[in-house]
């Protein structure tokens, strides 16, 4: 039987190394393909619109697979799901590198997405078994650091690889790192108690319909596609969601963790997470249009101007994780989200001809606030759930992030449809408002925390 409260050192460090390798690869591959899309489209003779599926297929598969993979982790072991996910991701990466057409590349990206979902869905649950409870915030802070740095350097890594090699190498580099992570995982990852229950295939299917059609429908509305089709997709998503919810209420260990949503602090933390990532994406999607369309900055300059946010988040996240082991996350998250809201308000009020410094320090303020919020919020989501339901909590953590990001991006598209370039300021101001609401929700958690 494993150590009940965390792994001993140095095994703890080896376990975190394999978690880091898997998480970095999964997050990087969600970002680096964007940079190479024009090159990929030209090489496989595909239109830009069709080539976007190289990105969309990966993200969509991850979204619909997170909760099923988390459920598999509770039934059959987080270690097993993580390692199988890592193996599938590595095989999918090799298939991407060997692809010669859009169809085969998209299929390989689907395989990659299933593997990435296995990695992302249970990494938080594994951290809960890797670190002792008194240091859980530290482990989650490291996770947030890895995600922040990977997001920030993704385009830079892609550009560096493309400067010396062709686009297949964007995926081929994952293979040796994936094999290394698997080798370390076999000797270091902890084993958790299992429920021994059978996997609920019907619930997994309903989950895929609910989240898949919801995201496709929201994205379609944002891009001005057929209203009839998009409304139909959203209606089917709603009906599937109702069926899924009714089915989960009768299960002792549901795939959609409705049992955890009955816990007030967990429910408030999920709502805070969705709002915060929605606010972040309102700015992330709108700002590049402002930098390039209004200020006339180049693509390279735009990338550099966007970097202070994720970079500051990555720097502050481990410190925030350390604080969350000592102070209530409701207070820390509320302060962080108020700082983020202030930063977004300052961005919305930029002068007509701002200097780079004017932009950089405001972006850093947003990143500081977001980093101060993220680690404590994630710690609360994981620690408020019973230990045997760590998989459900970890899956919901990742699902809340993706749902918030998707909704925020779709809102920007809708605003552009109504207000054109004025939508940038409106979107950023809306982000400030949403972050303010999230701060209020975060503070409401204080009375539920011990």
The DSSP code sequence of 63-98 is HHHHHHHHHHHHHH-HHHHHHHHHHHHHHHHHHHHH
Cα of first residue to Cα of last residue in the chain, in angstroms, is: 30
How many domains would you assign to the chain?
A: 3
Domain membership of residue 18 as a residue range: 1-198
User: Residue 358 has what pLDDT?
Assistant: 93
Helices (H), 249-263: 258-261
H helix or E strand, kind and range, residue 174: helix 174-188
Q: Which residue has the tokens 């249970």?
A: 122
Q: Which residue has the tokens 């990435």?
A: 116
Helices (H), 349-422: 356-383, 390-419
Contacts of 17 (CB under 8 A, 6+ apart): 181, 184, 188
415 near 408, Cβ under 8 Å?
A: no
Q: 244 and 268: one domain?
A: no
User: Distance between CA atoms of 124 and 13, rounded to whole angstroms?
Assistant: 15
Q: 276 and 382: one domain?
A: yes
Nearest to 321 by CA among 374, 265, 267: 374
User: Residue 114 has what pLDDT?
Assistant: 95
Q: 274 and 205: one domain?
A: no
Tokens of 50: 């069709």
Report the interhelical angle of 329-348 vs 308-324 (nearest 10°). Answer: 160
* pTM > 0.85: yes or no: no
Q: Exposed, middle or buried by CB within 10 Å (0-12, 13-18, 19+), for 244?
A: buried
Furthest C-alpha separation in the chain: 63
Q: 143 and 217: one domain?
A: no
Residues of the chain with pLDDT under 50: 1-3
Q: 123 and 4: one domain?
A: yes
User: Residue 275 has what pLDDT?
Assistant: 92
The CATH number given to whatever domain includes residue 91 is: 1.20.1250.20
How many CB atoms are located within 10 Å of the residue 334 CB?
A: 24
Rounded (5°) CA angle 10-15-19: 145
User: Residue 449 has what pLDDT?
Assistant: 60
Q: 242 and 332: one domain?
A: no
350 near 362, Cβ under 8 Å?
A: yes
Q: 392 and 405: one domain?
A: yes
User: Distance between CA atoms of 290 and 183, rounded to whole angstroms?
Assistant: 46
Q: 37 and 83: one domain?
A: yes
How many CB atoms are located within 10 Å of the residue 131 CB?
A: 22
Q: 45 and 70: one domain?
A: yes
User: Residue 152 has what pLDDT?
Assistant: 67
Q: 137 and 220: one domain?
A: no
Contacts of 36 (CB under 8 A, 6+ apart): 158, 162, 167, 170
Nearest-Å Rg of the Cα atoms of the chain is 21
Q: Which residue has the tokens 């990977």?
A: 150
């Amino acid at each position: 039987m494993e150590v009940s409260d965390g792994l001993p050192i140095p095994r703890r460090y080896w376990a975190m190394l394999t978690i880091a390798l898997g998480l970095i690869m999964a997050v990087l591959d969600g970002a680096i393909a964007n940079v190479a899309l024009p090159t990929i489209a030209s090489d496989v003779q595909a239109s830009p619109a069709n080539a976007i599926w190289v990105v969309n297929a990966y993200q969509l598969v991850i979204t619909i697979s997170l909760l099923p993979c988390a459920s598999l982790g509770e039934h059959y072991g987080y270690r097993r799901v993580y390692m199988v996910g890592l193996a599938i991701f590595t095989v999918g990466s090799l298939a991407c590198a060997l692809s010669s057409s859009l169809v085969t590349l998209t299929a390989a990206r689907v395989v990659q997405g299933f593997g990435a979902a296995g990695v992302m869905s249970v990494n938080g649950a594994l951290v809960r078994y890797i670190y002792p409870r008194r240091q859980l915030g530290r482990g989650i802070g490291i996770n947030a650091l890895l995600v922040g740095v990977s997001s920030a350097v993704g385009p830079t890594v892609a550009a560096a690889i493309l400067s010396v090699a062709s686009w297949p190498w964007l995926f081929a580099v994952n293979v040796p790192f994936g094999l290394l992570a698997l080798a370390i995982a076999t000797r270091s990852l902890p084993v958790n108690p299992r429920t021994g229950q059978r996997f609920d295939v019907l619930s997994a299917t309903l989950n895929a319909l609910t989240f898949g059609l919801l995201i496709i429908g929201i994205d379609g509305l944002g891009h001005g596609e057929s209203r009839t089709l998009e409304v139909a997709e959203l209606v089917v998503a709603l009906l599937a969601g109702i069926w899924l919810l009714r089915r989960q209420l009768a299960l002792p260990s549901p795939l959609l963790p409705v049992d955890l949503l009955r816990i007030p602090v967990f429910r408030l933390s999920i709502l805070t997470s969705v709002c915060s990532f929605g606010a972040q994406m309102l700015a992330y999607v709108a700002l590049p249009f402002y930098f390039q369309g209004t200020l006339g900055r180049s693509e390279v300059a735009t990338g550099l101007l966007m970097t202070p946010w994720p970079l500051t988040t990555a720097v502050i996240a481990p410190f925030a994780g350390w604080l969350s082991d000592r102070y209530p996350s409701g207070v820390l998250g509320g302060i962080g989200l108020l700082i983020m809201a202030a930063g977004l308000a300052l961005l919305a009020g930029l002068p007509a001809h701002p200097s780079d410094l004017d932009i950089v320090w405001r972006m850093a303020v947003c990143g500081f606030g977001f980093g101060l919020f993220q680690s404590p919020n994630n710690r609360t989501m994981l620690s408020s759930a019973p230990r045997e339901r760590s998989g459900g909590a970890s899956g919901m953590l990742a699902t809340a992030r993706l749902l918030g990001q998707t909704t925020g991006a779709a809102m920007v598209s809708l605003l552009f449809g109504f207000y054109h370039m004025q939508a940038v300021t409106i979107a950023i101001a809306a982000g400030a408002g949403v972050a303010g609401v999230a701060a209020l929700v975060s503070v409401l958690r204080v009375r539920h925390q011990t």
